[in-house]
Every structure is written in C-alpha cells, then in structure tokens.
Amino acid sequence: MQNNRTIGSEYEDIIVNYIKEKGYEILVTNYRCKQGEIDIVAKDGKYLVFIEVKYRKSSKTGVPIEAVTLSKQKIISRVALYYLYDKHLSIDTPIRFDVAGVLDKEITYIENAFTYTMWTIDLQTKCSDTEHLILVQIYNRYFVCK
C-alpha cells in the first residue's frame, strides 16, 4: 500500500510533465524550508511560478483545488518569499501562484489562482521562523525579519 507522500509525488510528476508540455521550465520540485514546502517552482516566460498540486481519488471530500485554503496560501507565500531570498532574487521578481488539481485522472490547472497573501500577514506574526534576515513588504512598509 502506498503512503500519501508517494501518491502525491506521482501526481506532482504528472503535473511536471503537463506544464513542461505547456512550455514551463522546471526549476525545482518539493522546495522545503522552515516555513513549509512548495510542490513545484517553475519559470513561465517572465514569471517565476509557485505551483501547489492537490490530488483526490474522488470528489467525496471535495475537489482538489478547494484544499488550497487561505491558510495554505499564506504558507506558500512565506515559502515563496524565502525562495526569493535563498536564490538572491529581487522582491520585485514577477511571481505567480498556480494551483493544479488532479481528480482521479482529470487535471484542472489554474494560473494565477491566488495573489501574494503575505500582504495580509498579521503584523503581530513573528517573523523569526528563519535565522536569516528577510526584507518583507507589508502594506508598502518594509520590515526586517530575523
């Protein structure tokens, strides 16, 4: 019997092939840091694209893309911000958040599925999840997080 991680990896591979056929350049899969994980980081033209992949065998528990909640979007946004820092990319790099859902064998792919939700971060949230300095822009004000 396969575990969820193994099954998830299989469907992430399906999405990697799907977006490669659309002309995306895959930069990394399963990028992890203290803030969380992003399934796929790719390049689509001028955009750096962060892609979340969700799979469901059936719709009994809802369609896959519904699993990308606001909470999950915030985590993905934090990981994306860290990715920019980690790769020495400007915070002005054009980015996009896409979501890929696989229901049984049917693919639903949504470009620009949500916006950069770091803007809605509660100012009381501790930024000290990482030992590195990160410049975070919130409501057009800059904060240095340690």
Indicate the domain borders of the chain.
4-119
Beta carbons of 136 and 128 less than 8 angstroms apart: no
The pLDDT confidence band at residue 23, using thresholds 50, 70 and 90, is very high
The average confidence (pLDDT) of the chain is: 77
Give every CB contact of residue 107 below 8 A, 6+ residues apart in sequence: 14, 15, 18, 100, 101
| CATH dotted code for 4-119 | 3.40.1350.10
pLDDT digits 0-9 by tens, 76-135? 998 998 999 999 998 888 999 999 998 888 899 999 998 875 444 443 444 444 433 344
CA–CA separation, 115 and 95 (whole Å): 9
pLDDT at 9: 67
Beta carbons of 87 and 140 less than 8 angstroms apart: no
Entry pTM: 0.75
